[in-house]
Each structure stands twice: as structure tokens, then as C-alpha cells.
Structure 1
Amino acid sequence: MNDNIFILDTTLRDGTQGEGISLSADDKLKIALKLDALGVHYIEGGNPGSNSKDIEFFQRIKDYNLNAKITAFGSTRRKNSNAETDANLLKIVTSGVQAATLVGKSWDFHVHTALQTTLEENLAMIYDSIAFLKQHEIEAMYDAEHFFDGFKNNQDYALAALRKAQDAGANWLVLCDTNGGTLPDEIQEIVTYVKEQLHVPIGIHTHNDCELAVANTLAAIKAGARQVQGTINGYGERCGNANLCSIIPNLQLKMNYNCLPENNLAALTSTARYISEIANVHMPVGQPYVGNAAFAHKGGIHVSAILKDAKTYEHIAPELVGNKQRILVSELAGQSNIISKAVEMGLDINTNNEKTKTIIEKIKDLEHQGYQFEGADASLELLLREAFEEVKTLFTIESVKMHIEKTNGSMISEAIVKINIDGQQVYTAAEGNGPVNALDNALRKALVQFYPNIEKIHLSDYKVRVIDEKDATAAKVRVLVESTGLNNTWSTVGVSSNVIEASWEALVDSIRYALLHMEKVDLKIETTDRIGLINH
């Protein structure tokens, strides 16, 4: 194992500067606890001198005995003033943090243009501010803003800024690619040179404006940097910060550095997804290591190979980062895809080769119609169970009617459902705040007396995608419904040129899947075709 790499997570500070991200003090507290459980070394909680929300976070986090060092963020003292009276520095001290990151200028252009002061005064600002923190026994990190741009334009001054921080007692000198425009070979060359000139440990802080933040961070580590500053899922201003979800496994699994405590790496995926939920930001399915599609396989040749040995198309075992292998079924699927999904469900299809070919052709035909089963595993499971097993019909849908009326300024939706359960006809009606909600309510109302556990599930997401945009309002649509209950979440799909019909089909599949797993029985709904008929 190579050297230890210290991880400073700035999701709660730099990450919140990303567009669309806003975290409450409660949100920050939850994320901090999750990051501490992951094993990062520093958690940068915010700037206590900028807003009351960050002050609240620093006060509340004191009640928890964390392993990570809670870190405050601030800037060097104001020009032509004293550190001892600087309001922002004083708030860092009174926040009670163990460590602090101070950002200061290292590019002469910024000193003249942004600060509008002299080069000498900027150096004094750096020295005084770091020394002030050290006087209060706070671990001090100097974030040299725009360091790489500054180095390329005025190497002597950029180094002078670092030396001032070093002379003042800084524990870390962090080189920042603030504009995100530096290339990896430049990063490695400059970090190598800087490390030879100074004796204080070097950190790296990169931004992703050229899609190089991860590569630049790895280059800096290779050159001798030993602290990484970044965010979970790469959140941050403009194009984001360096993504710790890629950096940490690359360092630990590929470059043999020690970043997290032993076995903690397996919590990376759950941490990334948890923080994505708290931040209310959609997580890209193709995000390396932790994305839902990071270890997903669709092509038949690929699937055939990984069934023999996963290393054929997986660069690591997904379990190392807490992820899992997924087999997708689509128009590109081969027999291996179907077999893999069926085995996953416990179906024995060794003697069903003809059935396998039939279901592959059916899936390809359905996808040609507009279905997509990659994001609708529950609908796919129902198709496979119907293809490979003798299934019991639990209920048959005889008719569905919709009534929509606008009265007194309000739109009222009513659904009427007629179903047959074991020869008993059930006829129910229900209203909803829209046609889909009314259909959902009516179907549940009809079934609940026979299957009471159905009350434990609910619709958690609903998406509509237009398939043929050129057909305008007559276009075919695809509806994806996500349902949650009984410690599980599943998705189903429906397709039609009628959005209500597509929604109905997805809703019915959702109920079928729920009953299948709640009652531990196999079921099938008899319909005229895959989509079924709705009687208006």
C-alpha cells in the first residue's frame, strides 16, 4: 500500500454552490453524519461568517462525536486591516472547529483586479490570517486560489504566496485549479516542482470545467500531493468540483493508496445515492463506480461473456464500492440476457430454449412499439414469469371507464373499474386529483377487500415521455411508474397514443408485481393484448 491520502469533503460548502442545490442545516447535519461513517478525514461544513444556516450547523455538529475533523471555510483578512479584528476570522474561531480552510490569492492578476491591492499587502493578508488561526490552535489549510493560472503567469509570486502561508505555520498548502482549465500534464509538472520548493504537505483542489477534475487530481497525487479536496457526485459551481466518488476508488483500487478505513469503500455507492436524495439532485445513471448503470450490461455478447467470468466486461467487482451488476433486457438482448434475468428470479429455464427465443422476439417487438424495460424491471419480471411459468389468474379486468368534468372552476376526475376475482364481479368507482390518481384509487378500492396488503404500497414517481414528437398531441407516449412499499421500490411501463391508457397499463403492472411479491403467488391478468382495451 502506498501513502495515506487525506480526503477533505467540501460537499456542504463548495458543493452547495452548484446550480439547483440548497441544503438546510438539517440536511447538512444528515450528510455530515453519512460522510463521517464513510470515513473522510475532513468535512468542510460551510462559512460561519457568511450566513446563519452555517453557524447553526457548526453549533449542532458539536453534539456528535465524529471521527472526521469539522472544518470551517473563510478567506484571508480584509486588505489594510488586522486579523485580530476581522469579523470572518473571529467567527471561524468562535465556531469551535478543529480545522479551517482559508482561501487567498496567488495570482497577481487577481490581486490587482479582484482585490485591488498591492502584491505586498496580499502576502501580508495571507501571513496574518494563517498565523491568527494557529494562535488559536486551529489546523490551518491555505487554499491558494487560481494557483495554476497564477504559476503559469507569474511563477515567483505564486510561490511567494505559498511561502508566506508556510512561514505563518500552515498545516496544508492546497493548490487550486479554480477555473478548471489546467491539463493533467501541467498539473503533474507544477505540483512536482512546488513540492521540491516547500516542506509543508501539498493538497489539490480542482474544478471540472474541462471534464478533467478527476484526472487532474490523480495527476497531482502522483506528483506528491497528499490531500484531496472534492465533493460527493462532483457537485459544485459551474461544471462542478472533483468527484470524490471517482477519485477515492481510483486512488484506493487502481493506484494502491489508502484513502478510507478498511471495508468502508463498500459504503461509497449508498453514500452517493443518499446524498443525491438529500440534495434532491438526479444522479446520472452512467456515473462511474456508483451510478445505477456503472455495471449494467445490455449487449448479448457482453452478457454471454460476463456469465462466464465478470472480469470480461467489468474493471472491478461492483461489490467493492457497494454497487451491483445489472443485466438489461432490450432490443439488443440475446438469449444470455434473458437467461440471466430469469435465473435472478429463480426461474429454471434450462429446458425452455424455444420459450427463450419467443420471449426475446416479443421483447424486441414491444421495444419497437416504444416500450423500454431497462428502467422497468417489474414489468419485465411479469413478462418472464408469464413466459416461463404456469401462472394463476388472480383477477381479470373487464372494463374501465373515465369521467372528467370541470365544474365551478375545478376539474374532477372519476374512474369506474369492473374486475372479476375468482368469479366474483367487483364494480367500484373513485375520484382523484387527476385521471391517473382516480384510476389508481379505483383499482385499489376494488382489490383491497381481497388483498388488504395493497394499502401498504404507494406511487412514488410518475414520468411521461413523448415517443413520436412529430405527431404532436396525437403522439405515442411512454409512461414510467415507480411504486414503493414493503421495503422495496419497483418500476413499470406502459405505452399508448392515449396517455391515460399508457398510465393504466403501468399502474396495473405495478399492482400485479406488488401482489406477486406480497402474496408469494404468481398471477396473470387476462387482457385482449399487451396493452389491453379500455372501454370509454
Structure 2
Amino acid sequence: MNSTIKIFDTTLRDGTQGEGISLSVEDKLKIAQKLDTLGVSYIEGGWPGSNNKDIEFFIRVKELSFKHAKVTAFGSTRRKGTKAENDPNLNRILEVGVAAAAIFGKSWDFQVHTAIQTTLEENLAMIYDSVRYLKSNGLEVIYDAEHFFDGYKSNPEYALATIKQAEAAGADWIALCDTNGGTLPHEITEIVKTVCQNIATPIGIHAHNDCELGVANSIAAVMAGARQVQGTINGYGERCGNANLVSIIPNLQLKLKYDVISADQLASLSSIARYVSEIANMHMPINQPYVGSAAFAHKGGIHVSAILRDSSTYEHITPELVGNKQRVLVSELAGQSNLVFKAQELGLEFDTNNQQTKLLIEQIKEMEHQGYKFEGADATLELLMRNAYGMLEEIFTLESFKIMVTKSAGQPVLSEAIVKLKVHGETVYNAAEGNGPVNALDNALRKCLKKHYPGIQHMHLSDYKVRVLDDKNATAGKVRVLIESSDFKNAWNTVGVSENIIEASWHALVDSMRYALLSQSRTSHQPEEQREQVGLVNH
């Protein structure tokens, strides 16, 4: 049996139906290029018959060059009572000039009667005519059998008849859709096997995640004979989302040994998942399998002691296979092994009998007693350890900052920050406004640093959390601020603690900037012309 699996990505179409997701044309073009580098076979760009944004995407995407993927347009079967040649949606697919089209039609007799309100015979004709028309115009056609599994359970003879019409009309693929996301894996297996026995056309699977089974159902379908998997990056999609390709791809390739994408492409999976989440402005769960920042994070001292001997004791794969990395969390539950591992990761000589090491351990314990929490702030911990071993350059020092918050009747609150730093011996002074005092501080700090470190423009704050540590003192209690930052490739967390929320925010903010500049300095071995392209060269 053919072990090659084709990936059909619908992030740009089905993914955008998820709550809170809205992609501009520029966003869609950027993501499309990333998807091509990942090695997907099809990129479903949208429905050209539904809106002007998708039409513009299909026009502009022709200016790009793709090595792996076919740009695919989405649409429906012809309308009832019309000819395919006269159907505006089908003709719009032809007009945008794509090589492939995915069109959906009804497989469930209930949907035929209730949703499109026509006869079962007319629905079969709609499917046949639409596929035939697109095929006659030279397109590769993927027929999406909507509600197929519900339809099969209701009326198996009719559900099979619908996809046989698509096959007779020349469809290149028939994708079975679990549109409501309510089918269980054992049902998927049984039904896909039956379809493969009755249909010669290659089968695909399009699963939704309403029972949190999108990934499991997709894998079950492949093991039953499907050779195309449709889904989205990070599982974005309507209601509970679509099947998550970020989990499906490594499961198929690493666990089941299917031929999906190359090893190099698989190693880009984590960075692409983060990139798409940033473009979509969606927070990526830290515990997302394979690619989340906590996917290979270890906290318990016994666990860490074991992975120091052999990482397979508590890791199911090598993280680098999917572009992720092993992390050890330092917290009140962590033993000495955690710090040993962290030191090794940073290239530090960590001798527990060394006075310097003992002082560092005591400092960490004291900071935790004050309210610091390093298990969610790896970047602050790394800066702390590097500083203890004399490996941290003093990039800038604070001389002062001032914040003014003004509220006038009938006007929004205005926040302005003034920051004064010493950078390479030069006093730098800048002011900036922002949406709140922390944002104003962030903007002013960037303005102070950008002359010496232009690469700072490539990082941004992606999350900000405040936790009151001493609720007995109400608004006078100590607070912990956790800031998450990213630069489209990596994400890191920093922490600050103080009785004053602005000071706590400042500490976390400064650590975030220091870590960003430290990370950028690691690229200093690159040729200068490459570093200038991303703004890392100091001037």
C-alpha cells in the first residue's frame, strides 16, 4: 500500500472561521509561503465566490513561487436547478486561475432535504455536474463529501452513492468530512475501510475537533486507507477547531513511519506553528503537543536526574526532530539536578561544591521566597545564572524613568513614559506614549535602544500577566508580573516582583529586552550582510 500521505492545509480558509481569527491578505500570503516551506501538498486559499479578500489573495498569490504546494480554491457544487456552466461560484474558481479546486457537496440525506431543500436525485446530479465541469476545464478536483460520516450512519447506501457520483465525474480525490466533529475513531476506521473497498479514487479525511478527536480520527482514517489529510496549523477552525496538522504530521511520520514531509521540513514545525500563531494573534498553548514550550519541559527533580542520564526516560521523541527543545524548570519542586542541567545547557561549569554555585542557589531560593517563580520564566533564570558566572554583558543601565497618567473628562486615559538610560557610556533620553503605563515604558525603552540595537524592533510583547502574592494587603500587596515575548521564531518569559506593579513590570520588561539582545548576539557568527537583513548589526 502507498505509504505517502498528502497534506491539505486549510488554515487560510477553514482556520479563519475560528473565533477571534481574522487574516488580512498580507497575512494569508505570508502564511502561504511558510506552509510551502513546510512541504504541504495543497494550500486552500479561500472561497473566491464569497468575498473580495479571497479574490485579492488569489490574484496576488500568483506573484509568489511555490516549490511544493498547489494553491487551491474552495467552493460548493452548483446550485439546484441550474447548469454547472452557469453557476457563478464554479466560474469564479475558474477565473482565479488555480491548478486545483476543492468543492463540497451533501452526503447526508437529512442535509439534502433540510439544508439545500432539494431531492436526493438532484443532489447527485449537482455533484456529478460540478466535478465534471471543473475537470473539463483542466483542474485537479478534490471533492469534499460534507457530513459524510453522519450521512453514512443515517443512510449508507445514499452516502456511498454521492461519492460514486464524484468518482464517475473524474474527481482526483474524495475527502470524507466529519463536519460536525462527532464521530468516534472506531467508527472512522470501519467507514473508511468500507469506502476504500467501494471506491477506487484516493480517499482523504477532513476531521473537526468537537469531541477532541480531530487528530485521532485523522490518524485512524489514514490507517484505514486514507492518503490525504486535511487540517489546519494549530487546529484553528470553527467551533472547537479543525484537526491539528501540527500533531498529525509528526504522529504519522515519526510514530507510524508514513512518508509525509522531509526531515528538514519536520524540524521547522515548531517555528512555523509559532509563526502562524503570531500572525493570527492567537496565544499558543504552552502544553501543545510536539511544539509547545512545555512539550519537553521537566520540573520534578527525579525526572531531571533521569533525563541527565538518558532523555528517553521521560521524552517520547527527540525534541529537535520537530524543531523544539528540552527545557528544565527551576522551582520549589526542583532539585539540584535541575540547576545542573540548566548550567550544562548554558555551557557553565556547575560545581555544587563551588562557592559561586552555592551563592547562586541561595540567591534563587531567596528570590523564590520573595515571590519569584522561575518555572515560567526561563529567560530571567538564564540571565541570573549568566550574571552569577560573569557571562552577562551590561548592555544598558537605568538612570531614571518617570510615568505620567492623565485623565480628562470625556477623554481616554493618556499614559506617557520618560526613560533615561546609559548605553555604552552614552546617556540616552526618550519619551513615548502608550496604551497604559507598561506599554508606554516599553515604547520609550525601545526608542532608547534602537540606535545601538536596531534588532530590538523584531521582538514584541505577546502576553502580560499580574498575580497578587499577598492578598491580605489588598492593593498594597506584593505582585508578580510575568511577560511573554517573541520574535516570530522563539518565545521567552521573564518575571518581576515588587510591591509596586510598575516596578515589577519594569524588571520583567528589562529582562525581556536583555534576553532578546542576548539571543540576537548569538547570531554574531553570521556574515554581516545576513545580520543586516534582520537588523542585528550594532551601529
TM-score normalised to structure 2 length: 0.85
Distance 1:393 1:8 in 2: 49
Question: Hey, what does 1:145 align to over in structure 2?
Answer: 146
| Greater Cα shift, 88-97 or 1-10 | 1-10
Whole-angstrom CA distance in 1 between matches of 2:49 and 2:391: 67
Q: In structure 2, how many angstroms separate the alpha carbons of the residues matched to 1:420 and 1:37? A: 39
Q: Does 1:476 align with 2:478?
A: yes
AA of the residue aligned to 2:55? I
Give structure 2 stretches of 5+ with no counterpart: 523-539
The answer on 1:216 being equivalent to 2:235 is no
Corresponding position of 1:530: none
Contact 1:398/1:420 (8 A) holds in 2: no
The CA distance in 1 between the partners of 2:517 and 2:38, in whole Å, is 37
Assess, with a 3 A threshold, how the Cα gap between structure 1 residues 474 and 62 changes in structure 2: closer, same or farther: same
Distance 1:202 1:455, change over 3 A: closer
Structure 1 residues 49-100: Cα deviation after superposition (integer angstroms, max 9, x where no partner):
1111111111222233323111111111111111110000011111111111
Say if 1:496 and 1:61 are closer, same or farther in 2 by CA, change over 3 A.
Answer: same
Match of 1:532 in 2: none
CA distance in structure 1 between the partners assigned to 2:227 and 2:150 by the alignment: 21
Match of 1:497 in 2: 499
* Cα displacement (A) at 1:484: 7.7
**Shift in alpha-carbon separation, 1:151–1:372, aligned structure 2, 3 A:** same
- String of CA shifts for 1:323-377, please: whole Å, max 9, x gaps: 1112221222111111111222222122536665664454345335432223433
Asked if the contact 2:93/2:101 (under 8 Å) is kept, the reply is: yes
Q: Deviations over 1:88-126 (max 9, x none)?
A: 001111111111111111111111111111111111111
Q: Does the C-alpha gap of structure 1 residues 168 and 483 become closer, same or farther in structure 2, counting only changes over 3 Å?
A: closer
Give the counterpart letter for 1:171 in structure 2.
D
Distance 1:70 1:390 in 2: 49
Q: Which residue of 1 aligns with 2:371?
A: 370
Counterparts of 2:23 and 2:428 in 1: how far apart (Å)? 47
| Equivalent-residue separation in structure 1 for 2:345 and 2:59 (angstroms) | 48
SS at match of 1:148: helix
* Distance (whole Å) between structure 1 residues aligned to residue 72 and residue 443 of structure 2: 50
* Structure 2: distance between partners of 1:427 and 1:37: 42
Where do 1:393-412 residues align within 5 Å?
A: none
TM-score of the pair, normalised by structure 1: 0.85
Amino acid at match of 1:478: R
| Amino acid corresponding to residue 24 of structure 1 in structure 2 | S
Cα separation, partners in 2 of 1:357 and 1:313, compared to 1, 3 Å: farther
Higher mean C-alpha deviation, range 246-255 or range 272-281: 272-281
Q: 2:301 is matched with which residue?
A: 300
Q: Name the SS of the counterpart of 1:248 in structure 2.
A: helix
- Distance in 1 between residues matched to 2:303 and 2:2, nearest whole Å: 34
Is the contact between residue 401 and residue 417 of structure 2 (CA under 8 Å) also seen in structure 1?
Answer: no
Code of the residue aligned with 1:167 in structure 2: it is A
Q: Deviations over 1:191-219 (max 9, x none)?
A: 11111111111110000000000000110
Could you tell me which residue of structure 1 aligns to residue 16 of structure 2? Answer: 16
Whole-angstrom CA distance in 1 between matches of 2:27 and 2:504: 37
Q: How far apart, in 2, do the equivalents of 1:438 and 1:53 lie?
A: 34
Displacement of 1:383: 2.7
Question: Over aligned residue pairs, what C-alpha RMSD do you find?
Answer: 3.5
Query: 8 Å contact 1:464–1:477 — kept in the other structure?
Result: no
Higher Cα Rg, which structure: 1
In 1, the alpha carbon distance for the partners of 2:268 and 2:519 equals 28
Shift, 1:264, TM fit: 1.8
1:382 equivalent in structure 2:
383
**Structure 2 counterparts to residues 84-483 of structure 1, below 5 A:** 84-350=85-351, 352=353, 356=357, 359-360=360-361, 362-389=363-390, 433=434, 435-436=437-438, 453=452, 457=456, 460-461=460-461, 463-468=464-469, 472-481=474-483
In 2, Cα distance between the equivalents of 1:148 and 1:19? 25
Give 1:138 shift. 1.0
Q: Is the 8 A contact 2:289 2:295 kept in 1?
A: yes
Identity of aligned residues (%): 63
Return 459-468 or 306-315, whichever deviates more: 459-468
Asked if the contact 1:214–1:242 (Cα under 8 Å) also holds between the matched residues in 2, the reply is yes
Other structure's SS at 1:115 match: coil
Offset of residue 320 of structure 1: 1.1
**Structure 2: distance between partners of 1:330 and 1:455:** 34
| Change beyond 3 A, Cα 1:140–1:366 | same
In structure 1, C-alpha distance between the alignment counterparts of 2:118 and 2:440, rounded to whole Å: 66
Distance 1:254 1:403, change over 3 A: closer
Query: Partner of 2:206: helix, strand, or coil?
Result: strand
C-alpha displacement of 1:145: 0.7
* Shift, 1:231, TM fit: 0.7
Q: Mark the CA change 1:120 to 1:368 in structure 2 (over 3 Å): closer, same or farther.
A: farther
Change in CA separation of 1:509 and 1:34 when aligned onto 2, cut-off 3 Å: closer
One-letter amino acid matched to 2:452: N
Which shows bigger deviation, 45-54 or 376-385? 376-385
User: Residues 355 and 126 (structure 1 numbering): CA distance in 2 closer, same or farther, change over 3 Å?
Assistant: same
